[in-house]
Amino acid sequence: MTGSELRSVSDQPSVKVAVRADLALLHIFRGVSEMISHAADFDLDASEDLRLAVDEVAATLIGISDSDADVLCEFSEHSAGGLRVTMTAERAVARLPKSNNFRWHIVRTLTDELSWDEDVRPPHTDSAADSYSKTVVQMVKRKASSPRG
């Protein structure tokens, strides 16, 4: 998936949440994820998978974000019968972990699709402290298929 595809906005209704980059506030992402997945008629297992995936990605983005920044999370319908979750760190001060990191393995296992994009911006001055990047992570979790009866 290219950066422009990753940033494309769906025409579907969405719910957006912005939370200060503080691990003490991680429970907000968990709660919103659980509430939205239940409202979307996810079964308990799929809802828990999504909650755990959102928790892992949110913790990662909080960890790489400037402490005065927000981490954004948008939930929207996915065309294949599930939810798309787009999480953004507008002011990341570090890079995401490498793709072979155990955290990414967990998120890949819990979701049906996973992609990310890092837009590293050069510093505006000689100070590296002014260098921020925008980091976007997208996940898709589909509803579990109904058992055949």
Q: Which residue segments constitute the domains of the chain, with CATH numbers given?
A: 3-142 (3.30.565.10)
CA distance 72 to 66: 13
pTM over 0.85: no
Q: pLDDT tens, 6-57?
A: 444 445 689 999 999 999 999 999 999 999 999 999 999 999 999 999 999 9
User: Tokens in use for 11?
Assistant: 């025409």
Q: pLDDT tens, 84-137?
A: 999 999 999 998 989 889 999 999 999 999 999 988 776 555 555 556 789 999
62 — phi, psi (to 5°)? Answer: -60, -40
Q: Helix (H, G, I), strand (E, B), or coil: what is residue 74?
A: strand
Q: 142 and 112 in contact (C-beta within 8 Å)? A: yes
CA distance 149 to 28: 38
Task: Identify the helix (H) or strand (E) that includes residue 64.
Answer: helix 44-64
